Amino acid sequence: MKILLVDDDPRLRDLVRIALERAEFAVITGNDGQSALTHAAREAPDLIVLDIGLPEMDGFEVCRRVRAGSDVPILFLTARDDEIDRILGLEMGADDYVTKPFSPRELVARVRAILKRTNGAGQRKDVVHGALRLDRAAHRVWVGAAEVTLTSTEFTLLDHLISYPAQVRSRRQLVEAHWGANSAVSDRTLDSHLRNLRRKLAEAGAPDAIETVHGVGMRLGSA
């Protein structure tokens, strides 16, 4: 599942990002209110971890704007242990709050509790990235209104990439996503599946859906 983490303190942001990634969440980061709004609209996260004390546009205003068009869960980070602030945040639509300083383990537990509460089993079934939409439950993919028929392998590879939209995934990570950690699948086999996947997405109108970062791996592109 995808978490948007927004805090202007780079050290704290890295600490929280690492804790969330160790808990097997995909993490997108931002450092101010505008980046929070941009990522929230573009990436469709499953939950937003949002610092109240952001520069220029604070977390309360970000929450208000996000809530105007989305019910995505929001967890506030606040350095202020003031009951009025906490109540205001919850009344504006936040789902929970954590007061700084906090334990990364506690934050991960709060994130999991919110996702379990808001998503039942906690598994996002429908994922959207630009014109690309992936339905995990039905095992179907669309580019705009055009449905794309994928093999099981192609679907898994696309699912893995769309779960980490801002990250480059190595060949080994892509192989492990479908064949497992101890598999001996060759680069040629992986390339064949990726080539077919790219061709199908291009024919449906998304020629740049998967980008190659030479010497590193693959990432999700524009769609």
Contact 217, 169 (CB under 8 A): yes
Distance, in Å, from the CA atom of 169 to the CA atom of 173, rounded to the nearest integer, reads 6
| Residues forming CATH 3.40.50.2300 domain(s) in the chain | 2-119
The CATH code of the domain at 126-220 is: 1.10.10.10
Instruction: Give me the pLDDT at residue 9, please.
Output: 93
At the top level of CATH, the class of 2-119 is alpha beta
What's the distance, Cα to Cα, between the start and end of the chain in Å? 20
The mean per-residue pLDDT over the stretch 185-195 comes to 85
| Global confidence as pTM | 0.56
> Positive or negative, the Cα torsion across 152, 157, 162, 163?
positive
More confident: 220 or 70 = 220
How many residues does the structure list for the chain?
223
Residues 6 or more apart from 187 whose CB is under 8 A from it?
171
- Residues 162-185 have pLDDT tens digits of 988 878 999 988 988 877 766 667
Report how far residue 166's alpha carbon sits from residue 181's, in angstroms, rounded to the nearest whole number.
23
Question: What pLDDT sits at residue 92?
Answer: 74
90-124 pLDDT, tens digit per residue, is 777 788 888 888 899 999 998 998 887 766 434 45
